[in-house]
Amino acid sequence: MRTKGLILCTVFLLICSAAPEAQRGAGGPVTAIVGATLIDGTGAAAVANSVVLVQGDRITAAGPRAMVQIPQGATVVDAAGKSLIPGLIDVHCHLNQPPDVMRKLLPVALNWGVTTIRMTGNDKPEIMHVYTEAREGKFPSPRVYSAGQGFNINGPYPGAPTLHPATPEEARAGVQVHKALKVDYIKIWMPGFSPEIVAAIVDEAKKVGIPITAHIGNVEQVRQLADLGVTDFMHEARDGMNPEFIAYAKAKKLSFAPTLGQGQSRWFYYEHPEFLKMDPKFDGFYARGRAMLEDPARKQQIIGAADFADVKQRFKDNNYPFIKMMSDAGIRVVAGTDCGAEASQTTPVGHTTHREVQMFVEAGISPLAAIRDATLDAARVLERTETPTYGAVQAGKIADLVLLDGDPVADITNIDKINRVMRAGKWVQ
């Protein structure tokens, strides 16, 4: 018996050592990203001269070079002089375009290091299959979530493909339509619906297990939904800059995606025409938006306006204090831009997400916290857990990574200096 066991063991060892998988571990080849300044997305201080190991779609180790052993046979990527951050997350986009345009723009988002994107309403049923293709890897794409068409009684976007139920029964039926389309979220635009209809949407969504995300503009709208259990909000409630609302928002664990990108893109890309001349793989503009940005008369009208400096200052004065106050109070502020919204043609997919992070820093949030807001904290909001499967450069997380030619902590404008992007363990460019 003993001899037989020994022989079996020997044979087994021979087979194992002959198989390259065995040497590299069960998950296949290892990539070691060596020497980068690591910003892990948790808000923790950067780690100079780091090693991050990736195997399969996961990060298996991340830390200072002295602490992480590089396995023999690993493919080493020399990242000295670069910074490594988690893939960026944009929780607020609307890419309701024909399928061929979607198949072009989703890869652009990924090339910009946006490895997760949520479409928050206006998705017509006939384009939902594009997201299925994206998830199946038929073309390069960020991890993508959809809220289907969503519920909007009229809103600022006339003609947008949304549902507008007139009764609670129609509201419940609308949620069921969304369920059949396998949406990830249900979107409500506030205000407009009667309290009964709002309650029916939220209740039916709860019954079918689909979380709600909502467009809001003031405390009353937030409270109406938060009292029903909704926590995930887009835009700001600027009348909530007081201790009472802050205590309420903290107690209810609310999060806000202030959505600055869309507002600022009304002029930003006129001031920065270099973004119109980039490699096509970074071209996240709609054809109509690009034409608007390339129109000299329109450019003059916007950035040549006598009150242009005031417009920019007003934008900061209106938005930044809310963001800073909520963030300082420990209320989750996450990156969302309205990228790709039909109503805001000049908000490109991809780069606007970087602008959002940069504006968080302009508002007074530290670079490390702003990066956390666009990575781990955004993943927490999307996966609705404190320990999401992605969003940080930590052992066990999905390997969504962005290598930067520059240090975004020293200067947040370096966050868009993309060197290389990894999505679920695979380099995408």
**What is the binding site for Zn ion (CB under 5 A)?**
338
Gap between the Cα atoms of 325 and 341, Å rounded: 27
| Beta carbon of residue 372, minimum distance to Zn ion (angstroms, whole number) | 23
| Beta carbon of residue 200, minimum distance to Zn ion (angstroms, whole number) | 22
Q: What is the largest CA-CA distance in the chain?
A: 94
**Residue with smaller CB distance to Zn ion, 338 or 416:** 338
60 Cβ contact partners less than 8 Å away, ≥ 6 residues apart: 27, 30, 53, 54, 395
Tokens 């479409």 label which residue? 119
| Angle made by CA atoms 416, 419, 423, in degrees to the nearest 5 | 90
Gap between the Cα atoms of 188 and 387, Å rounded: 26
| Beta carbon of residue 329, minimum distance to Zn ion (angstroms, whole number) | 24
| Beta carbon of residue 338, minimum distance to Zn ion (angstroms, whole number) | 4
Q: How far is the first Cα of the chain from the last one, in angstroms, to the nearest whole number?
A: 55
**Residue with smaller CB distance to Zn ion, 338 or 362:** 338
**Residue with smaller CB distance to Zn ion, 338 or 400:** 338
Residue 181 CA to its chain's centroid (Å): 22
Omega before 191 within 30 of 0, i.e. cis = yes
**What's the order of all strands across the beta sheet hosting 50-55?**
58-64, 50-55, 30-34, 75-78
**The pair of three-digit structure tokens given for residue 250, joined into one six-digit string:** 């903290």
For 77, other C-beta atoms within 10 Å of its C-beta total 19
**Residue with smaller CB distance to Zn ion, 349 or 368:** 349
| Beta carbon of residue 189, minimum distance to Zn ion (angstroms, whole number) | 8
Could you give the dihedral angle defined by the CA atoms of residues 136, 139, 145 and 148, in that order, rounded to the nearest 10 degrees?
Answer: -100
**Helices H, strands E: what count in the chain?**
16, 17
**Residue with smaller CB distance to Zn ion, 90 or 407:** 90
| Beta carbon of residue 92, minimum distance to Zn ion (angstroms, whole number) | 5
**Residue with smaller CB distance to Zn ion, 338 or 407:** 338
152 phi and psi, to 5 degrees? -150, 115
Measured between alpha carbons, how far is residue 161 from residues 86, 105, 138, 156, 201 in Å? 33, 20, 26, 12, 17
| Beta carbon of residue 122, minimum distance to Zn ion (angstroms, whole number) | 8
The packing angle between helices 243-251 and 219-226, to 10°, is: 30
Question: Residue 426 in contact with residue 419, Cβ under 8 Å?
Answer: no
**Residue with smaller CB distance to Zn ion, 131 or 248:** 131
**Residue with smaller CB distance to Zn ion, 90 or 338:** 338
Tokens 């070691």 label which residue? 32
**Residue with smaller CB distance to Zn ion, 139 or 157:** 157
Q: In sequence order, what are the beta bridge partners of 30? A: 55
**Residue with smaller CB distance to Zn ion, 32 or 257:** 257
List the one residue out of 403, 400, 390, 398 whose CA is nearest residue 423: 400
| Beta carbon of residue 157, minimum distance to Zn ion (angstroms, whole number) | 8
| Beta carbon of residue 259, minimum distance to Zn ion (angstroms, whole number) | 7
3 state DSSP class of 351: helix
| Beta carbon of residue 35, minimum distance to Zn ion (angstroms, whole number) | 40
| Beta carbon of residue 93, minimum distance to Zn ion (angstroms, whole number) | 8
**Residue with smaller CB distance to Zn ion, 188 or 401:** 188
Could you give the dihedral angle defined by the CA atoms of residues 357, 359, 360 and 365, in that order, rounded to the nearest 10 degrees?
Answer: 120
Tell me the residue nearest to Zn ion as measured from the CB.
Answer: 338
List the one residue out of 350, 329, 361, 406 whose CA is nearest residue 106: 350
